[in-house]
Chain A
Amino acid sequence: DQQVKQNSPSLSVQEGRISILNCDYTNSMFDYFLWYKKYPAEGPTFLISISSIKDKNEDGRFTVFLNKSAKHLSLHIVPSQPGDSAVYFCAAISNSNSGYALNFGKGTSLLVTP
């Protein structure tokens, strides 16, 4: 059962505009969330993360927002650039008495057009 869901398989945005990638989760034990970016023929690379005790984390053009009550997080890219075109994976970590778990979403393919 998919505990981390990225319901939009793809997204197309014009250069300079905002890209918003969404991620929903079902497990309330998740306490840390990460976004990874993946180019074709390469491994994923870490982009940005957020702890469950925060609701926002910003790093340059990238901002992640966390809404715990809605079990929803989003990645905002402003302004979007053609080099941002990639697949973006949302991931969540839980660490409980039964052990640790890391779950990835299926990914959203972002295309930024000039």
Chain B
Amino acid sequence: EAQVTQNPRYLITVTGKKLTVTCSQNMNHEYMSWYRQDPGLGLRQIYYSMNVEVTDKGDVPEGYKVSRKEKRNFPLILESPSPNQTSLYFCASSLQFPPYYEQYFGPGTRLTVT
């Protein structure tokens, strides 16, 4: 089954404790992206990747890191999480860049930073 998976689905952590949210797709998509969804703000893009070893900042990259060592994986790293990073995070992938092709979204990761 073609899908984008994220782990964990739910995470509660404390300020400053490094964490990684994994994202994996099995569709051989070149383009992958991370978004956060906050009440009243909709979806905002954090980082995106056009292909392996190619990443670029989206609208809200501060406080986040990403890597794309393999085509299928695109982890989101929070080196020192802060409460303002409490949010619902979505990973997405699409066949090519730019994403004129439909993006497939993962199920989301709800992160709470206390």
Residues of A within 8 A of B (CB): 6, 32, 34, 36, 41-46, 49, 89, 91, 93, 95, 99-100, 102-107
Chain A residues lying within 8 Å of B90, measured Cβ to Cβ, are 43-44
Further contacts, 19 of them, CB under 8 A, given A42-B107, A102-B99, A104-B35? A6-B42, A32-B98, A32-B100, A36-B105, A41-B107, A42-B108, A43-B106, A43-B108, A46-B102, A46-B103, A49-B102, A89-B43, A93-B98, A93-B99, A99-B56, A100-B98, A102-B58, A103-B59, A104-B45
Given A93-B99, A95-B98, A100-B97, are A44 and B107 neighbors across the interface (CB < 8 Å)? no
**24 residue pairs bridging A and B, Cβ less than 8 Å apart:** A6-B42, A32-B100, A34-B102, A41-B107, A42-B107, A42-B108, A43-B90, A43-B92, A43-B107, A43-B108, A44-B90, A45-B105, A49-B100, A49-B102, A89-B42, A89-B43, A93-B98, A95-B98, A100-B98, A102-B33, A102-B98, A104-B45, A106-B41, A107-B42
Chain A residues lying within 8 Å of B106, measured Cβ to Cβ, are 43
- Residue in B closest to A43 when the chains form the complex, CB atoms: B105
Answer whether residue B32 sits at the interface, using C-beta atoms and an 8 A cutoff. Answer: no
B9 to chain A: closest CB distance in Å?
9
Once bound together, how far apart are the Cα atoms of A43 and B103, in whole Å? 11
Residue in contact with B40 in the complex, picked from A41, A49, A106, CB distance below 8 Å: A106
Answer whether residue B29 sits at the interface, using C-beta atoms and an 8 A cutoff. Answer: no
Once bound together, how far apart are the Cα atoms of A107 and B48, in whole Å? 21
A-B contact count (CB 8 A): 53
Flag if B98 contacts A104 (CB, 8 Å): no
Once bound together, how far apart are the Cα atoms of A56 and B106, in whole Å? 29
Answer whether residue B44 sits at the interface, using C-beta atoms and an 8 A cutoff. Answer: yes
Once bound together, how far apart are the Cα atoms of A43 and B34, in whole Å? 12
Answer whether residue B66 sits at the interface, using C-beta atoms and an 8 A cutoff. Answer: no
Answer whether residue B21 sits at the interface, using C-beta atoms and an 8 A cutoff. Answer: no
- Residue in A closest to B6 when the chains form the complex, CB atoms: A43
Residue in contact with B4 in the complex, picked from A43, A99, A106, CB distance below 8 Å: A43
- Residue in A closest to B41 when the chains form the complex, CB atoms: A106
Q: Mark B37-75, 1 if CB is under 8 A from A, else 0.
A: 000111111001000000010110000000000000000
